[in-house]
Amino acid sequence: MNLTQEGLAARSGVSWSSLKRFEYTGLIALDALLKLALVLGCLADFDLVCINDGQSLASKSLDELLFKPKTRRKGHIK
C-alpha cells in the first residue's frame, strides 16, 4: 500500500508510537489492532480467530480452552 508508519498511523487513528511499539514488541490494544486491520484491508481475517477445527470456541468451556496436556520431557543424567 506504500504507506509509511506515519501515514498508516494518520489513516487509522492509531498513534505513531503505538504502531512503532507494535512492530517491535507485538503488543497493541485490541481496538488499535482492529483499526490497523481496517485500513490495511484485512479486518475480515479476524472472523477466523474464533474458529477451531470447524468448531466455534464459544461452545467450549474456559477450562477446555486453557487446558494444555503436559508433555513429558526426557532428563539428562550427568
Q: What are the residue ranges spanned by the domains of the chain?
A: 5-66
pLDDT in tens, 2-56: 899 999 999 999 999 999 999 999 999 999 999 999 999 999 888 777 666 655 5
Q: Which grid cell is 33?
A: 489492532
State yes or no: pLDDT of 68 exceeds 90: no
Output the CA–CA distances (angstroms, integers) from residue 57 to 36, 38, 40, 69, in the order listed: 25, 24, 26, 18
**DSSP code of 60?**
S
Whether the model clears a pTM of 0.85, i.e. scores above it, the answer is: no
Q: What stretches of the chain adopt beta strand conformation (E)?
A: 51-52, 55-56
Contact (Cβ atoms closer than 8 angstroms) between residue 35 and residue 13: yes
